[in-house]
Amino acid sequence: MKQITGIICFIMLISSAVKTEGSYVIEAFYANDTIIDAKNQNGGGVSLLYCINDRLKAILRGTYTSYYDTRVHNALEYDVTYSHMVLLAGIGYEPPIDLLERYRLTWRNSILLGYSKTEVKADAVKEYSSSDSGIAIAVNTGLGYNLTQNVQFFAEAGLHNSFYYGDLEDAKIYGVQFLAGVCYSLSGTRSLGDY
């Protein structure tokens, strides 16, 4: 949770300190990561988007997900925690589709690359921990609904993969990702067309 708080503070600092011609958008979202060797994790995240134009966006995204489990082995109960954190940067594109725009919808697409850290902790008689960090890539697509010129609700699905070369080198840290959240324009407004 400290990592997410740090990411939020970093994004707020950037958005208040940097003034440019384009507009800034902040997103907050629920995240579900299905990770083959690190369980089905739930969490959330934030993104800062810089709108290069109406269709193209530069994205900085931080996500933290986790999974908690209680297990019994030889009559001993212990807790296992899986966590996965990513900090990604990339490009988003919303192609112009008249049919969708008529209903205030946008088709959101993104490809992101960056840092990833996965950790597994077991709290038994003695604590066991295994973690690794490396490079991550994510490709997402989904729909956004423009409620107002400043507010958009969205849902996206996609694939993600983390590449590790230490403790988790042989682990399968990839899978399907689902995001659902809200965007708010910090500067500038989104065109709603003739609705």
Report pLDDT digits (tens) over 145-180.
999 988 999 999 999 998 888 888 787 877 899 999
Task: Report residue 130's pLDDT band, with 50, 70 and 90 as the boundaries.
Answer: confident
Neighbours of 149 (CB within 10 A): 12
3-state DSSP call for residue 100?
Answer: helix
Higher pLDDT, 140 or 82: 140
Provide the pLDDT for residue 174: 79
Whether residue 1 is predicted with pLDDT greater than 60 in this model: the reply is no
Residue that the structure tokens 């997103």 belong to: 27
Whether residue 127 is predicted with pLDDT greater than 60 in this model: the reply is yes
- What the block records as the tokens of 193 is 């067309």
Provide the pLDDT for residue 18: 43
Contact indicator for 47, 32 with CB cutoff of 8 Å: no
Determine the Cα–Cα distance for residues 71 and 185; give it in Å rounded to an integer. 44
Provide the pLDDT for residue 151: 93
Each domain of the chain, given as residue ranges in start order, spans 2-185
Provide the pLDDT for residue 195: 34
Looking at domain 2-185, its CATH class is: mainly beta
Contact indicator for 49, 25 with CB cutoff of 8 Å: yes
- The mean pLDDT of 111-135, rounded to a whole number, is 86
Give the number of residues written for the chain. Answer: 195
Provide the pLDDT for residue 87: 96
User: What rounded mean pLDDT belongs to the chain?
Assistant: 84
Contact indicator for 161, 173 with CB cutoff of 8 Å: yes
Contact indicator for 162, 8 with CB cutoff of 8 Å: no
Of 94, 23, 39, 31, nearest in space to 61 by CA: 31
Helices (H), the chain: 2-17, 98-102
In the beta sheet, which residues pair with residue 169? none
Task: Report residue 131's pLDDT band, with 50, 70 and 90 as the boundaries.
Answer: confident
- What the block records as the tokens of 70 is 């209680």
Q: Please report, rounded to a whole number, the percentage of residues in the chain having pLDDT higher than 90.
A: 50
- The mean pLDDT of 64-88, rounded to a whole number, is 86
Whether pTM exceeds 0.85: no
Provide the pLDDT for residue 19: 43
Task: Report residue 75's pLDDT band, with 50, 70 and 90 as the boundaries.
Answer: confident
Q: Please report, rounded to a whole number, the percentage of residues in the chain having pLDDT higher than 70.
A: 85
Contact indicator for 111, 76 with CB cutoff of 8 Å: no
Amino acid at site 73? H
Whether residue 17 is predicted with pLDDT greater than 80 in this model: the reply is no
Side-chain half-sphere CA neighbours of 177 within 13 A: 31
- What the block records as the tokens of 135 is 């490079």
Provide the pLDDT for residue 190: 61
